[in-house]
Amino acid sequence: MSGVSISDPVAKEDGVEFTATRGGVEQKFLAHREALQDLDYSVFETAEALLKAFHRHQGQIAAIAGRAMDQGAGAGTTVVLQSLL
């Protein structure tokens, strides 16, 4: 998982919000619903289905979040991951 740990995933209308941590640095992210649907080849009707897909692809999501952190994304704001491919 590229040294990134993920905690506190919560399903929201637009996707799944979570906190990524690496090397003591925390960053808030939103895995956009459409990005999760593209990654999972599914349409999610419930928050539970959205969270299950998030957990299935947590390794890929952590890698994408890690790259965003490497690029300095965020700086105190929530970073929206619009693509998880």
> What is the pLDDT at residue 72?
81
DSSP string, the chain: -TT-EEEEEEEETTEEEEEEEETTEEEEEEEEHHHHHHHHT----SHHHHHHHHHHTHHHHHHHHHHHHHTT--TTSPEEE----
- pLDDT number for residue 24: 87
Q: Read off the CATH number of the domain in which 27 is found.
A: 3.30.160.140
- Judge whether residue 14 has pLDDT over 90: yes
Residue 29: pLDDT above 70? yes
Domain that holds residue 31: 5-81
Q: For 33-76, how does the pLDDT look when each residue is reduced to its tens digit (9 = 90+)? A: 999 999 999 999 999 999 999 999 999 999 999 999 988 876 77
- Looking at the 3D structure of the chain, how many domains does it have? 1
**Per-residue pLDDT tens for 17-28?**
999 999 888 999
